[in-house]
Structure 1
Amino acid sequence: MVDHEGSIVTVMQAMGLSPVVVRRVSRLWGKSAARNGGRTHLLLGHLLDTAAVAGVMWDRYVSVAFRRRLDEVSGGRGKLWFMWVCGIHDCGKACPAFQAMDAAEAAPVLASGLVWGRLATDRRKKWRHDVAGAALLKPRLVAEWGSAESSGWVWPLVAGHHGAFPSVSGLQPPNREVQGSGADWAEVQRAVVDVFTRAVGFEDLADVRPVGALRKAEQLALSGMIVMADWIASDSSVFRGLGDAGLISLAGSRGRAENAWGRLGLRGGWQGLSLPRERLEPLNGRLGVIPRASQRELLERAWSMPAPGLLVVEAPMGEGKTKAALAAAEVLAARFGLDGVFVAMPTQATSDPMYEQVLQWVRSFDPEFESQVALLHGRRRFNVWWRAIWEGKPRPDGDGCGCEHAAEQSVGFGEDDYGAIDEDASYGMQSAEPSADGAPAAGADGPAHWFLGNKRGLLTAFAVGTIDHLLHAATRTRHVMLRFAGLAGKVVIVDEVHAADIYMRQFLVEALRWLGQAGVPVVLLSATLPPAQRQLYVDAYLSGVLGVADVREVVPEPAGYPCVTVACGVRGRAVVETSRQAVPSWRESAPVALTWLPDTDPAGTRVAEAVWESVEDGGVALVVVNQVSRAQGIFEALREKGLGGEVHLLHARLCAAHRADRTAECLRLMGPQAGGERPHRMVVVATQLAEQSFDVDADVLFTDLAPADLLLQRIGRLHRHSGTRRRGVHRVPRVLVTGVEAGRDGVPEVLWASRAIYGMWSLLRAAALVTEAAGPLAAADGQSVPLGEPVAWIIPADVPGLVARAYGDAEVCPVGWGEADAWRQWQDRELKRMGEAGKYLLCRPREWAFPTLEGLHYAGSRAASEEELDAVVRDGESTVEVVIVRRVPGGYRAVDGTWLGVHGEVDDDAVTDRLMGGTLRLPAALTEAARAGLRPLPGWSGRPWLQYLPALVLEQEGATLLGKERVLYDDDLGLVVERR
């Protein structure tokens, strides 16, 4: 066997290659000096660097479960095979189309005797090296591995390493010249593959043949790891170019890879987590909670499930589902060899507190893990813990951040280019940009800022973020494999899963299919999950596990509420179970009195009157409405009644600083730790922001009519915390449902905004269920006349039944309400939305059972940016985020009054922080005008956080014109749009 640790020239000579071939192979370049820090890097050098990075990843990053699978398909040589498949990715650069791209680099190649004819100049006809690599490798794999089947899943990994998987028909070059014509090119291309293969440690290409095949989802994860290895090995700041083949060796590349891994601060997660010594230890030991029955039930299911699978947890609001899910994740990771956790939350606002909870949790394993917890959303800069850890800012508790030495060991991001790097830009391929955060790379003592780069966030060992990041991994977009690779080694937890509407649900279902096939355990959490959705998610996950397009495994009816449903595959068959006996909730069910408050005035004057009456003598009220302007109107009316600082306003059109401050204040005064600080009188007026994962306790709730599950979520903020003192009038939880009134023949008339958001069918059914408890609805100026004795909702016991009825097949509305017509309109709308989502799903249904990634990107998403991709998975109109500044004599000021300078200049990070406190997302109706008229201020040029962020400049009177609208920002009300 050849000593593959020697230089690459030694390897070639030992293989018996002719001096001519050795010389030619030694001239092929992989990274040009012009795009590689002034130093040429030879092709074989980059292939070995990538293989060496893969070797380090195997030892320190790749999960135990995935290492196991690669060992299985490679006949026990998983690490070596992983290094080979990662390194071979760029073999297609050994073709004229690539070698001719840089004249200076091409000269030695031509001088060696390798020549080419006229090459196409039309960019559309360019022959990309990823496809070229698959084209030259595929016939050899078929010939030397003995079958198309064994090679059929490997060549797409090479063809797709720049983010998209072509069809086999795409491997045909437009002409012979681009791929290389004649015996000389064929000989050199063969030599590149053979020399690299021998240098890595295989005897020859036939020796590489796998003994089995990865499943398609596992192939997607592997593809993402290939891209990761390539991007790291392409970082010229840690991999200096080598232009002399005599200096290139696997041993040298290993040393370079080790150095790069350390300098970039890269690391993996648990890397083989030990099983807890006792079954309840993850709860009472690590999380420090006294386990409730529902938490014990989930943990027991995690211990007993026979294979990685899906856990659907349904339990009342405030039950402690998320802590139980983290405990279950520890057990699942230890049992099945997973390396980390991703917690998906419905919104940015709910992600922040969960991030801090996960930080505490991972510290209990190892304090160093806190620097591996990513917060994935666009406003993470405003989370003080994230900034303390990732930017080296002071900690909220005053302790050192642990990053004091990061700057001394840092590797700057300045001109580094990850993704479509070097000459790939000439093919029109979008680069994965360096981190928009502008943070320096960290050394071994700090967080790995490499993970802050575009599309890399999920690659961190532990991550918390919006559900969008999970949904993005189910879209047919470039580099989707990176996102999926980040999920494949983790336990995935999805909180408030009911919040996904029918459009988002298509991507969630698609993600569950792929996660099921990849053997990724998933935990779904909800207090108000309709049975049909439970069935949908179970079927989707099992579809992936079993590898078939359509699965229908009937989910047994749960024995009670709370409950846990388990779905997994054992020896090729599905296993579905639910809680076998009723699991008691931690708190006793109690009646909640529902009353109608008829009102469809967008200003909410009547609502404000009723709120004032309810708290005039004391109490804490929560008002949740479906429209920002309505919330603003109610807030103003309550201030006029003298509530002043006792009334708080929360909605999405507050700038980031104001929204964060008010949310924190509400949690301080109404949260679980309020204790004696709970105010005598307080009102919070909010939009849907307060609907879920908002851990506050109100005495009385005023809510616009919403679908039944969302009404129940809002009710979950009512009498939430045990031990709270309440005045006598507030000892019985009360809900006043408004935003609706009786129209002709008693048919509910609902606010236009509510109809636009939710559709009339779900609102009518919710109104019918409320009517059963509150009596018939009256007109806004009339009085409700009960028919018989109203029946209160018993919460939480009635929750699953109410949700099931709200979304079941049986009619629930009184005759004459037009339920059937409303259902047809709703169904038409939902089917249309499902069809729209289908355009972006990762895999067409009829292709789900295809065994390889070939042709996966048959058509790309139209989304070109992260912001647009958010709109794709949310079915929202595209919106624009701006930062508010005020024009003053001589220059500009931030929203908090901080002086910026004549052109908006920002001198330091502290000023940047205060300025970005004015960040705000504009309503969709203003998007067109904002894109046409708003630009960053001149003084923001070169500032990483600001240079691409449009400024909403308020003139000295406090307002500005945006298109046809007059827009102003009031520190109390937030953004106000005045129609002209």
Structure 2
Amino acid sequence: MLWVSSWDLGGVGVVSVPCHTVVVMLCTFTRLGLSAEEMDRLGCLWGKSAGRGGGTVNLLLSHMLDTAAVAELIWDHYLAPATREMLDRVAGDGRRFFAWVCGIHDCGKATPAFQRQAPAEAARLAEAGLGWREGVVTARTSREWAHDKAGGFLLRTVLKGTGGWGRRSIDWVCPMVSGHHGVLRAATQSDVTHAHGDAHGRSAEWKAAQARVIEAFTLAMGYESLAEVQPVGVPARADQLTLLGFVVMADWIASDAGHFPGIPDLARVSVADARRRAAAAWQDRRLGGGLRTLQPTAGTDVVKLRFGHDARASQALAVGIVRTMSAPGLVVLEAPMGEGKTKTALAVAEVMAERFGLSGVFVGMPTQATSDPMFTNVRAWASQVQPGAEDEAVLLHGKRAFNTEWKAMLAGDWTAADARFRSVQEDADDCCNRYGPADWFLGPKRGLLAHLTVGTIDQLLYAATRTRHVMLRTAGLAGKVVILDEVHACDVYMSQFLKEALFWLGQARVPVILLSATLPPAQRAELAAAYMAGAEPARTVALSDPGGYPNVTCVWPGMPAPLTAHTATWRPDLPVRLRVLPEPALLRGIRLTDTQAEQPVINLLDQELADGGCALIIRNTVSRAQRTHRQLAARYGTDTVILHGQLTAAARADRTERLLAQLGPDKDTPRPGRLILVATQVAEQSFDIDADLIVTDLAPVDLLLQRVGRVHRHEGTSRPARLTRPTVYVTALQPGLAGAPPRIERGAEYIYGRHLLLRTASLVLAAENAGGWAVPSQVPELVAAVYGETPVVPPAWQADAEKAQTEWDQEQETRRKEAAKFLLTRTGEHTAKTLDGLHYASTQASTEDHLAAVVRDGEMSIEAVLIIRTPAGYTTLGGQPLGADGTLVHAHLDTLAGDMMRLPARLTGEALDHLSPLPGWSSHPWLRSTRALVLDPNLAGAVGRYAVAYDPGTGLTYTAA
């Protein structure tokens, strides 16, 4: 049955609150013409239960006003000028509209489906005439008719009726409510049924109360009527998603009961009080405003201003071109290794931020290891641009706890801080953050919202996935300059997410700077087209050849034509001699021992390092690198070191730091008399070391050139006489007899495909006969040759090459289709006008590991801490005791974190089934979700059916049992 009652309004006159508060709210109710009964009902509708309101229920109107007040502060102190200008164009009065949209988000809580969840408050509602049939409105209907969906229907109904809004405005604004819990689904017939049933509130009393909540909030925000709120335009879909992200941000901040305790009495609810609460919360959080006081740099050598040296020709070219842009756009900077692309990108970013009203940067790197030095560079740059801004920088990757600079920024107690970050709930209603200033950005999904962010490129690619709360990532990129380094490293699978992200960034007018040693012409054209498809959909982009190297390519909406230019490099060409080091083990019918297989490399090093020197050997797989290292260590002892991804975090970090000191550009540390570094692809990107000699497995030409860039990299390095000519030996390759196609090592083909390797091999063999390559001037033509359509292999290889290309094309198409399943936009819907139905299906990716699997290659890998079990209990790898159940001692947390490693993808399934946290970790917010790989005192153990062993020198090995 329907309960009908009323609530005596007389209590309002005796509540002890400031007179002006009562007057403000009573004036609002007077303008609405509310009866005492209607005010009674407004005073019963709750927004936060006592459990989430700090022990006291918070009325719905109170929470809506709190959120709007937070939104005003976001506008005043956080949003970039470009974002504010966009909202002003859309709404006229952008600030007031922004606050209204953020505050209206919870109007759907004015339904029986939501209000039933607090029994005490539900009883008050029944007495006030807002009841429901308990057998119909149940826990199930509360789940099915969640308040985000209910709010979308409710707002649509009210705006269409008494609000008098047009359909175009209703269609894009209502998803700001229905999607504020992170998912944007299309309406279904089931939703329509709920909207006309008891779960939504079918009685006249409920419908009136719902309308009054919206109207009362609207008047409290200073509007004369709902009609006045209607925006004057429809923003781009990317701008809608950005706005929704800020709605979520405002809601999460205002959901903090520590700063916004419950207010149970309607007479105490007011805009003024909400603003006081919000101001106190904002001051306590100190979220920061980013680069908001940029100084004009026109006519200035920005590189010299920020980095202390005159701009090189390529740097001056890039800055000059960007100063001619009339709107934010895409800039592609291609330059050789060591040219100073990072400084160029930051200088260009400053010019863009100043010209286009932006307040921050995101720098995306290919790996966690390359993100760390970039974090240092960005902080140093920010301190020059706006002193103090460097303290707002956030490092975004899973290993940031090991970064010395990051730990220092967190005032020393980083372990406790990281524990607090991980314990925060992700749901908006559960996000009650009670820790210190600026830590808010370190909670789940919030990192990109910080103004200065550095992390892996994955952080950007996540913004192109159809995942929950993707709008927070979009909002985090708005108002920034996006810089992506080493974009050539994105394979066809990752490129689908990169192009999707560029589409949304182009539509949102977010400028993007892409850095690469060189890009295949087709890839450069695809990336530019993807950005412009969002920025200026009606335009077809046709890029011309830059004509030289280094070069700059620039596109932006409204441009007369794409702009391309080139200049001379700052250093002369390096004549690199190429030699093929055959591998007899690749010949059919030959079975060799490990020593025999590595004998060609041993013989080479015996000869070339007779007088000392530093050699770099790059293998394509960890197992191959370990085999090489074992054989070389047996011969050269401690002169040999290995670096790859199957070392513990601490071992890899320490080893990397030591190698950079020994072989890097800084001459403070003496260069070793002899050193042999065996590495995997970790030495391929942003690893600034100088080798006298390189031996490398065959790889596609762009990656091979990256490796070549490590030979004789630094000027002024003293080298043995026999190593004064830069030489690179290519392995994993056995030339065919009588001109037949070569044999290529199986692991290389598995990783890169035979198609690109055959084309690269033909260039390598040709270079061996021609004397080598001139680096960097030949780089563009070499890359274009391998990735182009013109045949480059000898006629005797043609049949093999055609078969390899057919297989390659089929595999590429398969991977494109696989990636399409997870892209933010469904095929054919890039022209959609609203966000309704954006989450047409779920990716079920909730953790960083799952997300990384989505945007990388679909294979999830997990991390585990290596632990030793002895008769006396557990210990760390270094022998620190952990007790019988692994109970954590605070001093051991740093050590345990350093003993963590990412397991090979092949072990993932077994690790998920067989590895778990130690019993003593159950109460720790980080360790309770961290798996332990338990080893015996000999460092051997098992992961399901795989036997594993860890060697501190060579890393993890595994074999199927």
* TM-score strictly above 0.5: yes
Partner Cα separation in structure 2 for residue 505 and residue 883 of structure 1: 32
Aligned residue number for residue 621 of structure 1: 615
Cα deviation for residue 973 of structure 1 reads: 0.6
Aligned residue number for residue 399 of structure 1: none
Contact 1:231/1:418 (8 A) holds in 2: no
Question: Aligned letter for 2:109?
Answer: K
Partner Cα separation in structure 1 for residue 221 and residue 906 of structure 2: 57
Pick aligned residue for 1:107 from 100, 103, 123: 123
Aligned residue number for residue 541 of structure 2: 553
Cα deviation for residue 14 of structure 1 reads: 4.1
Structure 1 segment 670-681 matched on structure 2, within 5 A: 670-674=663-667, 677-681=670-674
Partner Cα separation in structure 1 for residue 358 and residue 498 of structure 2: 21
Aligned residue number for residue 464 of structure 1: 454
Pick aligned residue for 1:586 from 558, 567, 570: 570
The question of 1:961 aligning with 2:954 is answered no
Cα deviation for residue 418 of structure 1 reads: 4.5
Question: Aligned letter for 2:173?
Answer: V
SS of equivalent residue, structure 1 residue 561: coil
Name structure 2 gaps, 5 residues minimum.
1-19, 586-593
Question: Aligned letter for 1:569?
Answer: P
Partner Cα separation in structure 2 for residue 164 and residue 247 of structure 1: 33
Change (3 A) 1:705 1:951: same
The question of 1:181 aligning with 2:202 is answered yes
Cα deviation for residue 919 of structure 1 reads: 0.5
Cα deviation for residue 391 of structure 1 reads: 4.9
Aligned residue number for residue 81 of structure 1: 97
Aligned residue number for residue 95 of structure 1: 111
Cα deviation for residue 939 of structure 1 reads: 1.9
Partner Cα separation in structure 2 for residue 462 and residue 565 of structure 1: 25
Contact 1:237/1:416 (8 A) holds in 2: no
Aligned residue number for residue 793 of structure 1: 773
Question: Aligned letter for 1:419?
Answer: D
Change (3 A) 1:740 1:37: same
Q: Identity percentage over the alignment? A: 47
The Cα RMSD (Å) is: 2.1
Partner Cα separation in structure 2 for residue 487 and residue 413 of structure 1: 21
Aligned residue number for residue 137 of structure 2: 119
Pick aligned residue for 1:365 from 371, 385, 392: 385
Structure 1 segment 458-537 matched on structure 2, within 5 A: 458-537=448-527
Structure 1 segment 301-316 matched on structure 2, within 5 A: 301-316=321-336
CA deviation string 1:374-426 (max 9, x = no partner): 111111000010011125359xxxxxxxx9xx99xx9977976453425xxxx
The question of 1:538 aligning with 2:528 is answered yes
Structure 1 segment 723-738 matched on structure 2, within 5 A: 723-738=716-731
Partner Cα separation in structure 2 for residue 922 and residue 123 of structure 1: 43
Change (3 A) 1:644 1:82: same
CA deviation string 1:925-976 (max 9, x = no partner): 1112111111111222222331211111111232012222211111101111
Change (3 A) 1:886 1:850: same
Contact 1:600/1:739 (8 A) holds in 2: no
SS of equivalent residue, structure 1 residue 35: coil
Question: Aligned letter for 1:45?
Answer: S
Structure 1 segment 248-259 matched on structure 2, within 5 A: 248-259=269-280
Q: Which deviates more from structure 2 when the two are superposed, residues 190-199 or residues 959-968? A: 959-968
Question: Aligned letter for 2:682?
Answer: L
Structure 1 segment 902-913 matched on structure 2, within 5 A: 902-908=884-890, 910-913=891-894
Aligned residue number for residue 893 of structure 1: 875
Contact 1:4/1:200 (8 A) holds in 2: no
Question: Aligned letter for 2:172?
Answer: W
CA deviation string 1:251-274 (max 9, x = no partner): 111111111112223222122523
Partner Cα separation in structure 1 for residue 493 and residue 334 of structure 2: 22
SS of equivalent residue, structure 2 residue 339: coil
Aligned residue number for residue 331 of structure 1: 351
SS of equivalent residue, structure 2 residue 828: helix
Aligned residue number for residue 425 of structure 1: none
Cα deviation for residue 742 of structure 1 reads: 2.8
Cα deviation for residue 864 of structure 1 reads: 3.1
Contact 1:6/1:250 (8 A) holds in 2: no
Partner Cα separation in structure 1 for residue 419 and residue 210 of structure 2: 35
Question: Aligned letter for 1:811?
Answer: P
Aligned residue number for residue 365 of structure 2: 345
Partner Cα separation in structure 2 for residue 770 and residue 569 of structure 1: 41
The question of 1:972 aligning with 2:957 is answered no
Aligned residue number for residue 588 of structure 2: none
Partner Cα separation in structure 1 for residue 402 and residue 177 of structure 2: 40
Cα deviation for residue 664 of structure 1 reads: 0.4
Aligned residue number for residue 136 of structure 1: 154
Partner Cα separation in structure 2 for residue 900 and residue 673 of structure 1: 40
Change (3 A) 1:680 1:255: same
The question of 1:209 aligning with 2:199 is answered no
Partner Cα separation in structure 1 for residue 543 and residue 792 of structure 2: 24
Pick aligned residue for 2:907 from 901, 904, 926: 926
Partner Cα separation in structure 1 for residue 923 and residue 317 of structure 2: 53
Cα deviation for residue 7 of structure 1 reads: 4.6
Aligned residue number for residue 722 of structure 1: 715
Partner Cα separation in structure 2 for residue 744 and residue 877 of structure 1: 38
Contact 2:661/2:669 (8 A) holds in 1: no
Change (3 A) 1:433 1:103: closer
Pick aligned residue for 1:421 from 429, 433, 444: 429
Change (3 A) 1:6 1:292: farther
Partner Cα separation in structure 2 for residue 614 and residue 882 of structure 1: 40
Q: Report the count of equivalent residues.
A: 924
The question of 1:219 aligning with 2:240 is answered yes
The question of 1:884 aligning with 2:866 is answered yes
CA deviation string 1:418-469 (max 9, x = no partner): 53425xxxxxxxxx797xxxxx8223xxxx1111111100000100000000
Question: Aligned letter for 1:504?
Answer: M
Contact 1:704/1:737 (8 A) holds in 2: yes
Partner Cα separation in structure 2 for residue 660 and residue 929 of structure 1: 27
Structure 1 segment 289-308 matched on structure 2, within 5 A: 289-308=309-328
Partner Cα separation in structure 2 for residue 111 and residue 740 of structure 1: 83
Contact 1:235/1:418 (8 A) holds in 2: no
Partner Cα separation in structure 2 for residue 25 and residue 433 of structure 1: 25
Contact 1:471/1:507 (8 A) holds in 2: yes
SS of equivalent residue, structure 2 residue 96: helix
Partner Cα separation in structure 2 for residue 600 and residue 298 of structure 1: 48
Cα deviation for residue 360 of structure 1 reads: 1.1
Question: Aligned letter for 2:36?
Answer: P
Change (3 A) 1:238 1:612: farther
Aligned residue number for residue 845 of structure 2: 863
Change (3 A) 1:418 1:863: closer
Pick aligned residue for 1:810 from 786, 790, 796: 790
The question of 1:449 aligning with 2:439 is answered yes
Partner Cα separation in structure 2 for residue 235 and residue 287 of structure 1: 42
Structure 1 segment 15-94 matched on structure 2, within 5 A: 15-75=32-92, 77-94=93-110
The question of 1:837 aligning with 2:841 is answered no
Contact 1:90/1:133 (8 A) holds in 2: yes
Partner Cα separation in structure 1 for residue 598 and residue 699 of structure 2: 16
Partner Cα separation in structure 2 for residue 718 and residue 338 of structure 1: 39
CA deviation string 1:2-57 (max 9, x = no partner): x9995534421343211111110111000111233321010000000000000010
Question: Aligned letter for 2:337?
Answer: M
CA deviation string 1:201-231 (max 9, x = no partner): 1111001011112111111111100000000
The TM-score with structure 2 as length reference comes to: 0.93
Contact 2:255/2:429 (8 A) holds in 1: yes
Contact 1:592/1:733 (8 A) holds in 2: yes
Pick aligned residue for 1:767 from 756, 761, 781: 761
Partner Cα separation in structure 2 for residue 747 and residue 411 of structure 1: 56
Contact 1:43/1:93 (8 A) holds in 2: yes
